[in-house]
Amino acid sequence: MSHRPHHISKASVAAPVTWPVAATTLLLALFTLLLLPLGNPASAADKSADGKAADGKAVDKKPADNAVSRGQYLSRAGGCMACHTAEAKDGGKEGVPYAGGRALKTPFGTFYGPNLTPHTEAGLGRWGEQDFIRAMRLGLRPDGAHYFPAFPYPSFTKLSDADLKDLWAYLRSLPPDATPNRAHDLQFPFGFRFLLAGWKWLYFTPGPMSPDAAQSAPQAQLARGAYVTQALSHCGECHSGRNVLGGIRKDRILAGAAKGPEGKSVPNLTPTGLKKWDDNDLREFLLSGMTPDGDVTAEAMAEVVRNTTSQLTAQDLTALMAYLRSLPALPSEK
Ligand code: HEC
Ligand code: HEC
C-alpha cells in the first residue's frame, strides 16, 4: 500500500507551487465540483406502502443480530440502493435493486452506479471481502485504479471494519443479476482516473473514525450520532461548504452552502440553522420531509428522507439529532 500515512499534514500542499502543479490542482478542483452528483438519487419505491423495501425484504428497523440483517440496515442508512439501482423511466419499472444503472448527472458528465450483486461477470461475484473493504476504505478498485468521489467513499472510509464486513455479507446475500455495467459518460479530460490520485492526496483522509473513549451515556450517544451523520449517512457531502478547489472546508462542516451540488443553497445544519425547530419539528422533518409550516422539502432532501433518515432506528435518529445540536453554531453563508 502506497497510501500516505494519516498524520502527514496537508498543510505542506501550501508550499510554493509550480505552474504545472497549479494547473493540475485546478483540474482536480474542477473534478470535485463536478463529481458531486446532483442530489441523492433514490427511489420512491425504497419504502413502499406494504412495509417492504424495494429489495423485497420487510422493513425492519430493529437492527437484528446477524451479519446480513445488520448489513441491510447499514445499507439503508448509507443510501446504497439509491445510487446502485436504475430509476423508473416514463412510468416504467425500477431496475433490479443493486443491479446498477442509476444515472448520476453532473455538469461534466454522467456517472452510472455499478452492479453490486454477486453476479460473476456483471457484478462483484469475483470480489473477496478484502476487495470490498479496500474499495470503501481507500477508494481503490481491485486493479488499483482510483474511484471517483461520486461514490461517497470519502465518508464511507470512516466506517468500522465490523460494519464494512456486515455490509459485504448483505451484498453477498443478494440474488446475482446479469445487468452489465454502463460506462460513465464523462467529458474530456475528466474521465482520467489517474488524476484522482492528486485529488485524493489533497482531500481524502482514509481511515475509520477513531472510537471515542467516552463511556458516559450522553457522550456515547453523541459519538454514535457523529458516526451515523458522517460515516454512514454522509450528510456533510451536501451540507458542508467547499473551498475553491472543491474540498470540504474543515471550518464549514455541516454549515450549509450558498451554492450546493445543484447550484442551489443547502441549509446550515449547525444550531444557527436549526434553532428555529424544536426536537419534535426536526424529528418530524427527518421522518416525513415535512416542515412545521407544512411545506414538503425539495427533491434532493426528500430522497434522503425516504431512503435514509426515515429508515433509521429511533435510537440512531435521536443520536443524529443530538449530534447536530452539539455542533458549534456556525454562521450561514449569504
Ligand atoms: C451518491 C451515490 C452513491 C452512493 C450513496 C453509494 N454509491 Fe457506490 N458507487 C457510486 C458510483 C458512481 C460508483 C462508481 C465509481 C467509479 O466508477 O469510480 C460506485 C462504486 C461502488 C463500488 C465499486 C463497484 C465496482 O464495480 O468497482 C462499490 C463496492 C460500492 N459503490 C458500494 C457502495 C455501498 C456499499 C454503498 C452504501 C454504503 C454505496 N456504494 C453508496 C455511487 C454511490
Ligand atoms: C444529496 C444532498 C443531500 C444530502 C446527502 C443530505 N441533504 Fe439535507 N438537504 C439537502 C437540500 C438541497 C436541502 C434543502 C431542501 C429544501 O430547500 O427544501 C436539505 C434540507 C435539510 C434540512 C432542512 C433544514 C432547513 O433549515 O430547512 C435538514 C434538517 C436536513 N437537510 C438534514 C439532513 C441530514 C440529517 C442529512 C444526512 C442524513 C442530510 N440532510 C443529507 C440536501 C441533502
* Residues 271, 255: Cα–Cα separation, whole Å: 9
List alpha helices for the chain, DSSP H.
19-35, 67-77, 80-83, 129-138, 153-156, 161-172, 196-203, 217-226, 236-239, 271-274, 279-288, 299-307, 314-326
Q: What's the DSSP call for residue 12? A: G
Q: What domain range is 193 assigned to?
A: 19-326
**pLDDT of 1 above 80:** no
Tell me, yes or no, whether 254 lies in a domain: yes
Q: Is any ligand 2 atom within 6 A of the Cβ of residue 228?
A: no
More confident call, 247 vs 119: 119
Ligand 1, atom nearest to 181 Cα = 26
Q: How many separate domains does the chain show?
A: 1
For position 213, what pLDDT does the model report?
61
Identify the band that residue 7 occupies on the pLDDT scale cut at 50, 70 and 90.
Answer: very low
Q: Is the CB of 246 under 6 A from ligand 2?
A: no
Model pLDDT, residue 35: 46
Q: Would you place residue 61 in the very low, low, confident or very high pLDDT band (cuts 50, 70, 90)?
A: low
Out of 31, 84, 132, 237, mutate this one to test ligand 1's pocket (max ligand atoms within 8 Å of CB): namely 84
Residue 8 domain-assigned? Answer: no
Whether 291 contacts 63, CB under 8 Å: no
Percentage above 90 pLDDT, the chain: 58
The reply to whether ligand 2 has any atom less than 6 angstroms from the CB of 40 is yes
130 pLDDT band, cuts 50/70/90, is very high
Does some domain include residue 192? Answer: yes
Evaluate if residue 41 carries a pLDDT over 50.
no
Q: Which ligand lies nearest the alpha carbon of 180? A: 1
| Closest listed ligand to the CA of 134 | 1
Residue 45, in any domain of the structure: yes
| pLDDT score for 13 | 35
Tell me, yes or no, whether 128 lies in a domain.
yes
Chain segment 292-312, per-residue pLDDT in tens: 999 999 988 998 999 999 999
Ligand 1 atom closest to residue 142's alpha carbon, by position in its atom list = 27
In a domain, 2, yes or no: no
pTM of the entire structure? 0.84
Q: Which three cell numbers stand for residue 96?
A: 433490479
- pLDDT at residue number 175: 98
For a mutational test of ligand 2's pocket, the pick from 104, 288, 304, i.e. the residue with the most ligand atoms closer than 8 A to its C-beta, is 304
Let me know: does 317 contact 225? Beta carbons within 8 Å. Answer: no
Cα(49) to ligand 2 centroid in Å equals: 24
For residue 12, being part of any structural domain is answered with: no
Residue 47 above 80 pLDDT? no
Q: Is residue 5 one of the residues assigned to a domain?
A: no
Q: What is the pLDDT of residues 177-217, one digit of tens each?
A: 999 999 999 888 778 888 889 888 988 999 999 766 666 78
Q: 65 alpha carbon to ligand 2 midpoint, in Å?
A: 31
Identify the pLDDT of residue 80.
95
